[in-house]
Amino acid sequence: MKTCLLGCGLMGNPMARRLLGAGLELTVWNRTRAKAEALAAHGAHVADTAAEAVRHAGVVITMLEHGGAVEELLFARGLADALPRGALLVDMSSIKPAEARAHAAALATRGVAHLDAPVSGGTVGAAAGTLAIMAGGEAADFERAQPLFAPLGRATLVGPHGAGQLAKLANQMIVGITIGAVAEALLLAERGGADPAKVREALRGGFADSRILEVHGLRMVERDFAKRAAITVQLKDLRNALATGTELGFDAPITTLFEQLYASAAEHGWPDADHAGLWLELARRNGMG
């Protein structure tokens, strides 16, 4: 199955390497060509343009920064018209559910199938092939995408078009809020004289244990805020969740509070820090380095 991946950034690169390692014939494209070229050594074909990349593809994966980027590539830059009839577009970007539904409808008029299939697990999960993949769309298209999903992680069809993005928003609400809870708790423990590294160790295995405590808590203890998933990306997802809540007439007060906290972190100089870097904003508020 000829496959194409558009977007070879922090997530797209390790995902492409997983697909190549599974023996798939893969063509890649990235707006900054050097990021795509880095995959040539792993066996990928590098295309000069996105339209060239998809010309003969049966399945096309997009892994772009936000819904606006997906919209621009598909429609403003003409990719939708370059996709072969009968192709399947699997959008693994994190975008608004309404955007995913609109893209699916527009592609259907061109004879192109669509799945929204955002992921969770970060760059670590992408490299290990352990991503949680949340898909929205038709069951037949979901089955068709299984050879792509298998090397990347565990895929679940959660509903019709847009439902995958709803699941991703739920994921990001839980992740963003839990990062804040872990950061605030560790800072409180440190202010009171406890060793935050030992507190994290003590909590593991109890009811407060989580993947966030394990991974992001360690980053906080080690003051390692190098970007994996940026503050700005977490903020974008929380804002998408709030916008979707408004559309649905749903009040999300906890998410509203954390949108403000992540926005404050970005405003105070940490927009490109890892989202565990919310610790920095909470430390700033408490006069702690």
* Residue of 168, 198, 227, 236 marked active site: 168
Catalytic site includes residue 2: no
Contact 29, 49 (CB under 8 A): yes
CA 267/CA 278 separation, integer angstroms: 12
Q: Which residues contact 30 (CB under 8 A, 6 or more apart)?
A: 6, 7, 8, 9, 12, 36
Q: How far is CA 79 from the centre of its chain?
A: 22
Residue with tokens 């707006």: 31
Cα–Cα distance for residue pair 101/116, rounded to 1 Å: 9
Cα–Cα distance, 139 to 79 (Å, whole number)? 24
CB 261 within 8 A of CB 176: no
Catalytic residue numbers, as ranges? 168
